[in-house]
Amino acid sequence: MNNILVSSSAYLAFNIVNMVNLPRELGIEVLIENANDFVWRHALKELLIDRPSQFSIHGPFLYMNLASPNCEMDQVVENYKWTFDYYNTYGARHVVLHPHGQILEPQKEDAETRKARCLENINTIAELALKENVNLLVENLPYAYTVFGQEDYFDLFKQIPSVGSIIDVGHCLIKGWDIPTVLEILGSKIDAFHINDNYGLNQADVHMKVGDGVFDYKEFIKAYKKFCPDARLVLEYLNVTTEEIVENANMISNLLAE
């Protein structure tokens, strides 16, 4: 299960202390903004010792909307410098970037102007990632309004070729993206996935474990093996136990081995 990681989304706040109970053959991804330096220094010492599997970081995204004209990019850059320090200190494999936050009144600005600003701000972080030797991955989003629909998301990697893709399959379900087609078009540009389930088109981003919603995970596994078999699979769940995570990871590992 070396290619399967578990997000700390299932261990938010003080529950991070329970993440140490995950089997060492499972990797971990941490939501870096959910703790301070003191907590992470102690938590990562416990989480990463004797864990040969992979480690990754979900970059910060709260209170930073890269599409907003009021985005404080100097503070965003400082936040990502802090994140990239963790990446290099602990040998992470990738950092996840949300390309923007929620946009509640999209009609108040021209879509192309917003997209241009968003691309400029993503590129600023991408240039910092290059400088710091960080593997930066841009995630697809589930919001009612997204700057990067499916075609625009594909085009983003032509506009900023230094970044890679992390596909959140639950977000694809909510936005009605055809998952096998996404994998075929992006192929090896996809370096990781956020794996989770939900109730489908225009529904809530509930991050259930695989098999509890409408996600056709068997179809996904077929496309994964064909188009991007080396990509990491990060189980990004909410409100589940460690036992449920391990059972789900074993199921996915068995499907990969078939």
- The residue ranges of every structural domain in the chain are 4-257
Q: What is the Cα gyration radius of the chain?
A: 17
AA letter at 24: R
Other CB atoms within 10 A of residue 167 CB: 27
Q: Which of 25, 29, 19 is nearest to 92 (CA)?
A: 29
The answer to whether the CB of 139 falls within 8 A of the CB of 98 is yes
What does the block give as tokens for 132? 């710091």
The answer to whether the CB of 1 falls within 8 A of the CB of 245 is no
Rounded to the nearest angstrom, the gap between the alpha carbon of residue 47 and the centroid of all alpha carbons in its chain is 19
What does the block give as tokens for 167? 């596909």
d(CA 214, CA 172): 12
AA letter at 83: T
Angle at which helix 179-186 crosses helix 217-227, to 10 degrees, equals 10
What does the block give as tokens for 9? 């989304």
The predicted pLDDT at position 70 comes to 96
Q: Which fold has domain 4-257?
A: TIM Barrel (3.20.20)
Alpha-helix runs per DSSP H in 32-71? 37-48
AA letter at 31: L
Indicate the pTM of the whole model. 0.97
The predicted pLDDT at position 224 comes to 98
Q: Which of 94, 20, 84, 85 is nearest to 54 (CA)?
A: 94
Supply φ then ψ for residue 115, to 5 degrees. -65, -40
pLDDT per residue of the chain (258 residues) written in tens, 0 to 9: 679 999 999 999 999 999 999 999 999 999 999 999 999 999 999 999 999 899 999 999 999 999 999 999 999 999 999 999 999 999 999 999 999 999 999 999 999 999 999 999 999 999 999 999 999 999 999 999 999 999 999 999 999 999 999 999 999 999 999 999 999 999 999 999 999 999 999 999 999 999 999 999 999 999 999 999 999 999 999 999 999 999 999 999 999 998
What does the block give as tokens for 208? 């259930």
Alpha-carbon torsion (175, 179, 184, 186), positive or negative? positive
